């Protein structure tokens, strides 16, 4: 180290430091004096061993001060005046060597510090460059905390948070927009490579001259990197990253791409991100409708939106507008006359809330947000920038909302219900196509599709009969509609009447309560509950005799989805409203992959669809009939008509309707009104949809059971006989769902000891008489679709009866042939306010 200082000293003093006469500038001393008396304590501290053992010291310092006679002659190239080489010069006591001076060490520290700083800076810059993000991410950037919900057609249903709600392509925007930004923010945008060094110098001079910050030097590229990748921290590291990233962005993206993204992302106040949003927020216009002074005002907001907003300070907004106009003239984009005319224009504001901030379909978008938390990590939701692709069909959704509002306005007052809800599902995919949770979201955010738990009434009978069919029961199995009391529970039909012997199919069509309970007794609680769960009912079900009549509480979504299982031939797909979730980087973080599960065997599902078609063709659901295609479904009415239901389906769609009151007060309506509302919606939705037929009725003979019945053995069972119904039927023979009269049979029949099955009389050519033994009107129901030709009866060919085993209900053979379907009848109308509407 001392050698370095000696050389540095020689360099500073120069090689010709000695006088020309050869006299040393300092008095010479012997080597022993120098070694034994170090010139300073600093030298002594550097070389503490020299005094004790100078003869063995081989340091450069010792070599430089060796006696002349001990050195070779070539060590002294210079000579004195007489030609004799002078001894080496040594520092005098009054002038210590350079290495002992503090200034030398300061200089050394500065040199080393500068070199170290340069090396560290170079290393830091290399580290920053390696950690820079990919500039192309700016093309798909969305801000933190944003949430965009889209319909199945790609349209935006709602945008939450700081999102750009409407974007502009650079070749589609008015040229004045780009010119205003270039003149105001970055005049040399198309010349620089990301950082404008001339602008930096110009800004420094302008700010020094004004004594405050009046001009910035950030380019549009730098501002875009700040929006997308950085923050507003005024730190050296952030500024370095910004400059490096701006250079990198210029190499990866075109100038037009950078300008377009900036114009669509820059915040312009009032919740507007980008020029298109600002045009709507301030002037209720599209960008193409903006005038020059309006464009200048919007562009002038970019440096400080909250300070220059015309909604906050009109004078500041006008001042900024005029500055932009002046810069546009200076840049040659407009003439002086255009500038003057624009500056004299008043602010014609027409403020609006940002587009898509409020949802057009709030019940559905609220449901989607609730489901999102179950599908995506909460941290992803908190970071935001998510795009949710949903299953909703916006056109059908609009029609569903109109239908619900019309139903309340048209029928609600007379039938005393104030609310309605509707949901439509694709049974094959489980996708929710429309959802209306009420008539006014602003008054009540309660979604009656998913949050209202209501008694389904007779719509639950479908699960009881489906279980029976899957257990091997024939739809022609007969039961006696007569007084029944089981363990103290006594179900009653509407009007407390009885209809005598009925097949299961007839009882379902007429929604006979007592027979539904008897079917439940035959198949058991657990099989019915398990069947309902497999088909899609998720609400808790209690094993009780009233279960057959819908004493449980369910919501409309699960009930409709369960009926969709039958529409999908026994395969259940969970209803859902979200297809995919995409994060801010364009990565798919969730995708719906629901698989169809065979909840009901296909044959049983097809038989049930055939039975439910009868409800629409000849039963309580007649108001739901569509002229050009088959419909299956079931009506339902809870106690005191508090809830009015209809769940119906075609092969491609299942739709559920509920009518009632939020406070659970009784209505004066009928389930036939719900069927009519269903038709009002579906009648328009199916226009242009391909007509699909339901599967043909499967062969009933030889069918294997897929569910094991678990017959209930009550502690006490009291059953009436068929003859007991005569007296009551003379007074009233209306069923629960349909006010139709039927004729009773004269012969007595006990449910505990059934007689041999009756022979069908429908094959007789003569018209049956009205005697008690003649078949009822419902024994001659037509099952073929109304649009099918008469030559194609739907019922299966007759099957020979088999003698039933003892103590079991016999299943009579089906009729020899079903009567042909009648021609289409005029559309039945729902009563506005019936005196005594049917109940279930």
Active site residues: 185, 458
Written as one string, the DSSP assignment of 347-395 is ------PPTTSS-SSHHHHHHHHHHHHHHS-HHHHHH--EEEEE---HH
Cα dihedral sign for 153, 155, 161, 164?
Answer: positive
* Mode of pairing for the β-strands spanning 571-572 and 478-481: unpaired
Burial status of residue 272 (CB atoms within 10 A of its CB: 0-12, 13-18, 19 or more):
buried
- C-alpha–C-alpha distance, residues 282 and 181, integer Å: 18
- Hey, which residues does 485 pair with through a beta bridge? 718
CB-CB contact of 195 with 216 (8 Å): no
Q: Report which of 794, 772, 773 is spatially closest to residue 782, judged by C-alpha positions.
A: 794
> How much of the chain is in helix, strand and coil states, percent to nearest 5?
40, 10, 50
The burial of 627, by beta-carbon neighbours within 10 Å (0-12 exposed, 13-18 middle, 19 or more buried), is given as exposed
What gap in Å lies between CA 303 and CA 74, rounded to an integer? Answer: 75
Q: Are 770 and 743 in contact (CB under 8 A)?
A: yes
Classify 144 as helix, strand or coil.
Answer: coil
What kind and span of H or E run contains 589? Answer: strand 588-591
Spatial distance between the Cα atoms of 240 and 317, rounded to a whole number of angstroms:
33
User: Angle CA(504)–CA(507)–CA(509) in degrees, nearest 5?
Assistant: 110
Two structure tokens written together for 597: 């599960």
Cβ partners under 8 Å of residue 48, min gap 6: none
How many residues does the structure list for the chain? 840
Q: How many CA atoms lie within 13 A of 700 on its CB side?
A: 22
Q: Are strands 147-150 and 432-436 parallel, antiparallel or unpaired?
A: unpaired
Contacts of 798 (CB under 8 A, 6+ apart): 760, 763, 813, 814, 815, 816, 817
Beta bridge partners of 500: 481
Region of 779 on the Ramachandran plot (φ > 0 left; ψ -120 to 50 alpha; else beta)? alpha
Task: Give the residue among 59, 9, 11 at the shortest CA–CA distance from 34.
Answer: 59
The encoded tokens of residue 325 equal 């106009």
Distance CA 171, CA 435 (A): 39
């Amino acid at each position: 180290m001392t050698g370095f200082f000696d050389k540095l000293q020689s360099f500073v003093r120069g090689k010709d430091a000695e006088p020309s006469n050869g006299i040393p500038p300092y008095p010479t001393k012997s080597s022993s004096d120098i070694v034994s008396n170090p010139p300073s304590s600093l030298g002594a501290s550097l070389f503490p061993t020299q005094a004790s053992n100078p003869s063995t010291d081989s340091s450069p310092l010792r070599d430089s001060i060796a006696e002349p006679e001990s050195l070779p002659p070539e060590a002294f190239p210079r000579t004195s005046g007489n030609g004799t080489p002078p001894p080496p010069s040594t520092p005098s006591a009054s002038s210590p060597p350079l290495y002992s001076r503090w200034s030398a060490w300061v200089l050394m520290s500065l040199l080393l510090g500068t070199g170290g700083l340069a090396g560290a800076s170079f290393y830091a810059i290399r580290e920053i460059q390696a950690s820079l993000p990919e500039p192309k991410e700016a093309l798909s950037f969305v801000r933190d905390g944003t949430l965009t919900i889209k319909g199945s057609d790609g349209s935006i249903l709602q945008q939450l948070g700081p999102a750009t709600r409407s974007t502009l392509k650079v070749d589609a925007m008015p040229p004045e927009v780009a010119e205003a930004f270039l003149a105001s923010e970055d005049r040399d945008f198309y010349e620089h490579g990301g950082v404008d060094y001339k602008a930096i110098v110009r800004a420094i001079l302008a700010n020094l001259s004004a004594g405050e910050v009046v001009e910035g030097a950030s380019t549009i590229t730098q501002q875009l990197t700040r929006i997308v990748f950085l923050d507003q921290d005024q730190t050296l590291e952030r500024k370095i990253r910004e400059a490096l990233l701006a250079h990198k962005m210029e190499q990866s993206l075109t100038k037009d791409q950078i300008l377009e993204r900036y114009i669509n992302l820059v915040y312009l106040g009032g919740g507007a991100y980008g020029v298109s949003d600002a045009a709507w927020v301030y002037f209720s216009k599209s960008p193409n409708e903006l005038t020059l002074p309006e464009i200048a005002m919007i562009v002038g907001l970019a440096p400080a939106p909250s300070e220059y907003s015309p909604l906050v300070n009109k004078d500041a907004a006008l001042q900024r507008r005029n500055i932009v106009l002046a810069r546009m003239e200076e840049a040659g984009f407009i003439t002086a006359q255009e500038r003057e005319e624009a500056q004299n224009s008043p602010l014609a504001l027409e403020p609006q809330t940002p587009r898509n901030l409020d949802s057009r379909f709030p019940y559905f978008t609220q449901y989607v947000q609730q489901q999102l938390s179950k599908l995506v990590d909460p941290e992803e939701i908190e970071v935001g920038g998510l795009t949710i692709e949903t299953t909703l069909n916006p056109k059908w959704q609009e029609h569903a909302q109109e239908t619900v509002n019309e139903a309340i306005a048209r029928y609600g007052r007379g039938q005393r219900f104030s609310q309605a809800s509707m949901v439509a599902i694709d049974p094959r995919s489980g996708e929710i196509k429309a959802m209306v949770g009420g008539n006014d979201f602003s008054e009540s955010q309660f979604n009656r599709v998913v949050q209202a738990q209501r008694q389904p009434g007779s719509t639950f009978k479908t699960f009881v009969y489906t279980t029976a069919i899957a257990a091997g029961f024939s739809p022609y199995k007969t039961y006696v509609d007569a007084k029944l009391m089981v363990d103290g529970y006594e179900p009653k039909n509407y009007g407390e009447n009885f209809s005598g012997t009925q097949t299961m199919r007839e009882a379902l069509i007429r929604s006979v309560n007592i027979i539904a309970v008897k079917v439940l007794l035959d198949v058991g609680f657990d099989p019915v509950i398990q069947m309902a769960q497999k088909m899609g009912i998720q609400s808790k079900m209690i094993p009780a005799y009233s279960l057959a009549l819908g004493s449980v509480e369910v919501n409309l979504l699960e009930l409709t989805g369960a009926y969709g299982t039958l529409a999908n031939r026994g395969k259940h797909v969970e209803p859902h409203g979200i297809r995919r979730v995409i994060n801010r980087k364009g990565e798919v973080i969730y995708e719906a992959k629901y698989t169809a599960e065979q909840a009901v065997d296909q044959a049983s599902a097809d038989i049930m669809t055939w039975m439910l078609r009868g409800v629409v063709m000849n039963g309580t659901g007649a108001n739901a009939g569509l002229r050009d295609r088959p419909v299956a479904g079931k009506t339902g009415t809870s106690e005191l008509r508090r809830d009015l239901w209809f769940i119906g389906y075609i092969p491609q769609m299942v739709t559920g309707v509920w009518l009632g009151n939020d406070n659970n007060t009784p209505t004066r309506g009928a389930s036939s009104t719900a069927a009519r509302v269903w038709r009002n919606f579906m009648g328009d939705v199916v226009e242009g949809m391909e007509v699909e037929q339901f599967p043909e009725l499967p062969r009933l003979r030889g069918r294997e059971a897929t569910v094991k019945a678990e017959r209930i053995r009550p502690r006490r069972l009291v059953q009436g006989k068929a003859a007991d119904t005569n007296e009551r039927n003379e007074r009233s023979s209306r069923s629960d769902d349909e006010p139709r009269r039927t004729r009773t049979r004269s012969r007595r029949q006990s449910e505990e000891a059934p007689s041999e099955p009756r022979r069908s009389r429908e094959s007789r050519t003569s018209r049956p008489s009205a005697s008690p033994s003649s078949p009822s009107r419902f024994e001659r129901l037509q099952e073929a679709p109304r649009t099918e030709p008469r030559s194609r009866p739907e019922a299966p060919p007759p099957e020979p009866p088999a003698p039933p085993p003892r103590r079991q209900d016999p299943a009579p053979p089906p009729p020899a042939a079903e009567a042909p379907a009648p021609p289409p009848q005029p559309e039945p109308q729902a009563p506005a306010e019936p005196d005594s509407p049917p109940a279930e």
